Amino acid sequence: MIREKKIRVLIAKPGLDGHDKGAIILSSQLRDAGMEVIYTGLRRTADQIVQSAIQEDVDVIGLSILSGAHMSISGRVLSKMQSAGIGEKVVVVGGVIPDDDIPRLKEMGVAEVFTQKSSYEEIISFIKNSVKD
């Protein structure tokens, strides 16, 4: 069955991390794969990310985190999502994430974690398989 509506993905750079080259390249790859991508820009708060997700009616929220604050930032975003009534949205985290933290992030509610070893094909496939029609 062909999906009528394009998958909408919000890519966010939360916290004080100022490096966004990977997020920009990923956004381009997702667009090339037929998705609509909203890139929030640098240094967004959890509140800003959740409000953007609501306003843009996205299917997926992608957090790009290189600062080492992935546990606290992911927790804040997931908590704000629950409070805002959008806790069912797919959340993925990417960046420099230690392998030991991946199970903990998934226990918190992150659907998948992509490290620097992940390919764009893996990310695209996961998103396409995770979004319900």
Comparing CA positions, the residue from 62, 74, 64 lying closest to residue 101 is 74
Q: Provide the pLDDT for residue 19.
A: 87
133 lies in some domain: no
**Residue 2 covered by a domain:** no
Establish if 110 belongs to a structural domain: yes
Q: Is 76 in contact with 46 (CB distance < 8 Å)?
A: yes
- C-alpha–C-alpha distance, residues 18 and 84, integer Å: 27
The domain total for the chain is 1
Q: Domain for residue 24, yes or no?
A: yes
What are the C-alpha distances in Å from 101 to residues 48, 80, 108?
25, 21, 11
Instruction: Give the range of the structural domain holding residue 122, as residue numbers without chain letter.
Output: 8-128
CATH label of the domain that carries residue 86: 3.40.50.280
Locate tokens 């009616």: which residue? 57
Which two three-digit tokens encode residue 66?
């290189």
60 located within any domain: yes
Q: Sheet with 90-95: list strands edge to edge.
A: 36-39, 8-12, 60-65, 90-95, 112-115
Q: What is the pLDDT of residue 73?
A: 97
pLDDT at 21: 93
Domain-located, residue 76: yes
What pLDDT is stored for residue 18 in this prediction? Answer: 84
Is 75 inside any structural domain? Answer: yes
Tens digit of each residue's pLDDT, the chain (133 residues): 555 789 999 999 998 888 899 999 999 999 999 999 999 999 999 999 999 999 999 999 999 999 999 999 999 999 999 999 999 999 999 999 999 999 999 999 999 999 999 999 999 999 999 997 6
Residue 107 lies in a domain: yes
pTM: 0.95
